[in-house]
Amino acid sequence: MNNPASPASSETAMIGSRSTDWHGEAMQKRIARRYAAERRFKYLGLSAIVISSLFLAFLLFVMIGNGIKGFSTTQVAVPIDFASATGGASPDQIRGEDAERALNSLDISGIVNTAIEIEYGADAADIFTENSWTDVRDALLSNPDMIGENTTVWLTAKSEIDRAAKDDTDEKFEALYAKLKDAGKAQSGFNWGFLTGADGTDPARVGIWGALKGSIITMLVTLALAFPVGVLAAVYLEEYAPSNRITDFIEVSINNLAAVPSIIFGLLGLVVFLSWLELPRSSALVGGLVLALMTMPVIVIAGRNSIKSVPPSIREAALGVGASPVQVVFHHVLPLALPGIMTGTIIGMARALGETAPLLMIGMRAFLTSPPQGLTDPSTVLPVQIYLWSDEVNRGFVEKTSAAIIVLLIFLLTMNAFAIYLRNRFETRW
Amino acid sequence: MNTTNNSTEHTVKAFDSDISEMRGLIAEIGGRAEKSISLAMKALANNDLDLAREVVKNDKQIDALEEKIDRMVIQTIALRAPMADDLRELVATLKISGVVERIGDYAKNIAKRVAVIDNDLHIEPASLLPAMAQAASQLVDDALTAYATRDADLADQVCERDRVVDDFYNTIFRSLVTHMVDNPKHIGAGAHFLFIAKNLERIGDHATNVAEMVYFAVTGENIGERERGDNPSDPLYSED
Amino acid sequence: MNTETTNIASSNKMTTRNVDVFYGEKQAINGVSIDIDMENVTAFIGPSGCGKSTFLRTMNRMNDTIPSCRVTGEITLDGEDIYAPSMDVVQLRARVGMVFQKPNPFPKSIYDNIAYGPRIHGLASGKDELDQIVEKSLQRAGLWNEVKDRLNESGTALSGGQQQRLCIARAIAVDPEVILMDEPCSALDPIATAKIEELIHELRGKYAIVIVTHNMQQAARVSQRTAFFHLGTMVEYGDTSEMFTNPQEERTRDYITGRYG
């Protein structure tokens, strides 16, 4: 059986005549080229990282630089003798349920304007806006005892004064502010009104809370709809759907849906939710519905991928001990797929949070001076608010726009951090 | 059943070369054993002591060969984990090498008697011994051929033909005993011839053993109990 | 050497008659008839793609999960046709447990791995009873002493061999009648393999055991009955000791002696 012409012997002959020169010049050159290519690629990648980091740093720097000013405000002192001005109104009158009505009957506006007139004379119109008196009204509501006193109240100054306090503006307001400052009649502080108020016409008095609350409600609606529907759709498509043309069609449709421009979802919402179903216009409910439509395909795709990546051995193991298909999905597949599904949800929700165009289509760009109280109240969201403010003529809105962007970013980061925390908690290895 | 599995080679070619090497060694040890028988008989016929010494020397080589075959079989079983036909063949090889070594020992035993047998005596029954040796040697040869060709039928025939050697032995035994009764002076030499006949008979039996092993290796079955004639190894048992 | 053999027809736990398996148009298994009894370990051997695993999976309907797979013929468990509409597949898989090629513990604690089956089938009426089942199963699988102090650790933290014994314990926990093993040692080192083989030996008689293996030595070591599959048909089925010393079919012999292909 020792055949001399066996392949083994011819192989030996080939090895014997091996002629590759591993140490020759050509080989060394080839090695050098390979190393060079490797280095080039490494530096290219590194430079890409550096460039994108620079962009990000620049963006953050500019945003925070501009926006941080939006969080402070300038107030000017006005002495008011309430006791004489109101003709001896007692604090008890503006306590309790009838406080609002009692205040309205007191003509606070007149009292304040008179006090301003007395204190600043001709400059009054340059320092205060017509609505400055509302600060007094709010102060009285929280501290009724003030009504019987002769006291000094701090009123939010006009946006121009505020800007004069922060940086260069035209000389007239600079001079005015300097005068006030020297007299100790101007002070700067954290702008709580910005975090608690809603939109307005005077940049010094606008707030972000209305838009933030609108965003939160809208996101909750979106999450409540898109997450369960998306996950269930993903589970059905992965675990139950027979593989046929209809399933293929649905799969392609969902993939396409994820790529549809967002404004088209806005049009869809306009036609379906507002015209046909006659849901309230500008409401967080409709906004949430539209964004849920937009987010769902992303969750379905991410969900399917992560369900698919659950090792089949786990499914087999569960089936092997006699788990029913539903038990397999809910006891084993979904818990293991959850981190992936949540990643998809984070991406989808982050996109929805930043969405402006479809919400403009369904009227969520209304000028609202009070935060929404529920799902069906007219509301706006952060990106739309930013868009609206960026369009304003008054230069005071520039810093407000940046401040709103900071709020939006913080909201986004908080949401993501929470989702990542949840994901890591549920993450299991196999 | 007379299958041969030489048709297909093992996927691991080295296994095939191991097996063919062992077959070659069995052929060699068998050849030497046959040669020992014929040399011993020749030495006996010619009272040739040199030839007898050569048989003894040859036996040493047979012993060495047996040892080599045993080592190789054990190594192959350990390394290749043979199954079914391969396992049977290796076990058969292991046993055959031992049996053939015994055959060599019997030939040596015959050769050793050359020196002590008084050559001038004319013992008539001893003239049958060369023919008996011829028959026994042929059995060994056929058994080894059956092994080499994996021929179960030939192996079966060998077992059948052992009867011929047994018959020779019975004949020689009876006539030698008769001769010794008639010629008491020849008892010494006669006893030696009796042992030589006995050795030849044992060679035939061992040839049968080889054939049985071959039959088992080829078919996977034992050759089965068959009518074997007398058991001549026990003289008391011989025909009355 | 496994010389013990039994041929008592009445002890047949599972029988198959003329089983054909199709994947779409392609026929994977062709007319396999085999009897599995309680007393013996049955090994399925054969080259890759010969259908031995496919056939094993038809025996607890694991192939149901493959839509294009179709089974004809008859497979019975205690005389009941397992493909009959009245047969509940979930219950069947509890009665006919399975151990897979790759150790696949759930990414849960060791305790939960074992307790999962009894929980979903409602086999334990309380925590104490469940504890008992877990302990007994782990003991039977020869794993109790190694893991009793860390039942709350993840099953995936165990070594490969321990994981596989955990999987066997998990199958035992639902009190099956038959255990199917699909190449249970192919991912394990020789020591772990020996432990599994010893375990199979221990379990013999308590459960009807069928093991698919492509390691012939393993089949020879653990089984009393061996079936050789080739190209979707069962070529030969007989006592292991006979199969490995004197197979009757040429294809079996060529495979066993390493002359295949």
Q: Who contacts B201 (Cβ-Cβ below 8 Å, separation ≥6)?
A: B136, B165, B166, B168, B169, B232, B233
Is the four-CA dihedral A21, A27, A28, A31 of positive or negative sign? negative
Q: How far is C246 from chain B (nearest CA, A)?
A: 5
Q: Does A322 touch chain C (CB under 8 A)?
A: yes
3-state secondary structure of A187: strand
Residues of C in Cβ contact (< 8 Å) with A318:
106, 116
Mean pLDDT of C16-28: 91
Quickly state the pLDDT bin for B118 (edges 50, 70, 90).
low
Q: How far apart are CA C150 and CA C173, in angstroms?
A: 18
Angle at CA C68, nearest 5°, toward C65 and C71?
Answer: 80
Q: What percent of chain C has pLDDT over 90?
A: 41
Verify whether the Cβ–Cβ distance B87 to C245 is below 8 Å: yes
pLDDT for residue B96 = 92
Q: Which of residues 193-232 of C touch B (CB under 8 A)?
A: 216-217, 220
Cα separation, A166 vs A188, whole angstroms: 9
Give the SS3 label for residue A309: coil
Task: Flag whether residue C159 sits within 8 Å of chain B, measured between CB atoms.
Answer: no
Give residue-wise pLDDT tens across range B223-232. Answer: 765 544 445 4
pLDDT at A16: 54
Q: Which chains touch C (3 or more CB pairs under 8 A)?
A: A, B
Do A321 and C120 lie within an 8 Å CB cutoff? yes
User: Is-contact B216 B223, C-beta < 8 A?
Assistant: yes
Alpha helices, DSSP H, located in A270-333: 284-308, 312-320, 325-327
Question: Based on the structure, what is the number of domains in chain C?
Answer: 1
Residue C3 lies in a domain: no
C 122-141 residues with CB below 8 A of A? none
What is the predicted pLDDT for the residue at A57?
94
Interval C210-254: pLDDT, tens: 999 988 889 999 999 999 999 989 999 999 998 888 888 888 888
- In which residue are the tokens 């991406």 written? A347
ipTM metric: 0.85
Q: pLDDT-derived band of residue B72, with 50, 70 and 90 as boundaries?
A: very high
CA distance C112 to C153: 10
Residue C2 located in a structural domain:
no
Residue C259, chain B, CB below 8 Å: the answer is: yes
Report the pLDDT value the prediction gives residue B67, as an integer from 0 to 100. 93
Q: Is C257 close to B5, i.e. CB distance below 8 A?
A: yes
pLDDT of amino acid C2: 41
Reported confidence tier of residue B142, pLDDT bands at 50, 70, 90? very high
Residue C7 binned pLDDT confidence (cut-offs 50, 70, 90): very low
Instruction: Please indicate, yes or no, if residue C130 is contained in any of the structural domains.
Output: yes
Contacts with B235 (C-beta within 8 Å, 6 or more apart), sequence order: B173
H or E stretch at A81: strand A72-81
d(CA C216, CA C226): 10
Residue B119: per-residue pLDDT: 66
pLDDT score, position B188 = 84
Q: Give pLDDT tens digits for B170-196.
A: 988 998 888 888 888 888 888 888 899
Q: B 57-116 residues with CB below 8 A of C?
A: 81-88
CA of C156 to nearest chain A CA: how many angstroms apart? 6
- Within-domain flag for C26: yes
Chain B residue nearest residue A8, CA to CA: B13
- What whole-number distance in Å separates Cα of residue B81 and Cα of residue B72? 13
Return mean pLDDT, chain C.
88
Q: Determine the length of chain B.
A: 240
Window 210-249 of C: residues touching A by CB (8 A cutoff) are none
All structural domains of chain B with their residue ranges? 13-237
Bridging pattern class, strands C80-81 and C69-77: antiparallel
Q: What is the CATH number of domain B13-237?
A: 1.20.58.220
R_g over Cα of chain A: 33
Q: Which residues pair with A151 in a beta bridge?
A: A80
Q: Tell me whether C102 touches chain A (CB under 8 Å).
A: yes
Question: Cα dist. C248→C141, C228, C242 in Å?
Answer: 36, 11, 9
State which residues of chain A have pLDDT below 50.
1-13, 430
Asked if residue C243 belongs to a domain, the reply is yes
Contacts of C245 in chain B (CB under 8 A): 84, 87-88, 220
Name which of A75, A328, A297 is nearest A185 in CA terms. A75
Instruction: Give the gap in angstroms from C-alpha C252 to the nearest C-alpha of chain B.
Output: 10
The share of chain B scoring above pLDDT 70, in percent, equals: 88
| Chain B environment of C259 (Cβ under 8 Å) | 5, 8-11
**Is the pLDDT assigned to residue C199 strictly greater than 70?**
yes
Nearest CA to C163 out of C132, C148, C194, C141 is that of C141
| pLDDT tier at B4, thresholds 50, 70, 90 | very low
Residue B128: predicted pLDDT: 85
**What is the residue whose two structure tokens read 């999987």?**
C167
CATH (domain of C95): 3.40.50.300
Contact between chains at C245 and B5 (C-beta distance less than 8 A) = no
* Residue, of C198 and A82, whose pLDDT is higher: C198
HEC readout, chain A: CCCCCCHHHHHHHHHHCCCCCCCCHHHHHHHHHHHHHHHHHHHHHHHHHHHHHHHHHHHHHHHHHHHHHHHEEEEEEEEEEHHHHCCCCCHHHHCCCCHHHHHHHCCHHHHHHHHHHHHHHHHHHHHCCCCCHHHHHHHHHHCHHHHHCEEEEEEECCHHHHHHHHCCCCHHHHHHHHHHHHCCCEEEEECHHHHHCCCCCCHHHCCCHHHHHHHHHHHHHHHHHHHHHHHHHHHHHHHHCCCCHHHHHHHHHHHHHHHCCHHHHHHHHHHHHHHHCCCCCCEHHHHHHHHHHHHHHHHHHHHHHHHHCCCHHHHHHHHHCCCCHHHHHHHHHHHHHHHHHHHHHHHHHHHHHCCCHHHHHCCCCCCCCCCCCCCCCECCCHHHHHHHHHCCCCCCHHHHHHHHHHHHHHHHHHHHHHHHHHHHHHCCCC
Neighbours of chain A (3+ CB pairs under 8 A): B, C
Q: Of B106, B223, B230, B117, which Cα lies nearest the Cα of B165?
A: B230
Give Cβ neighbours of residue A183 (< 8 Å, ≥ 6 apart).
none
Among residues C188, C167, C212, the alpha carbon closest in space to that of C59 is found at C212
What domain range includes position C19? 11-256
From chain B, pick out residues whose CB is under 8 angstroms from the CB of A6: 13
pLDDT reported for residue A365: 78
Instruction: Give the pairing type, strands C208-212 and C41-45.
Output: parallel
Domains delineated in chain A: 74-189 (no CATH), 209-426 (1.10.3720.10)
Return the residue matching tokens 């996977």: B220
Q: What are the chain B neighbours of A1 within 8 Å (beta carbons)?
A: 9, 16-17, 19-20
Q: Which two tokens stand for residue B112?
A: 């050793």
Alpha-carbon distance of C237 to C218, in angstroms, equals: 16
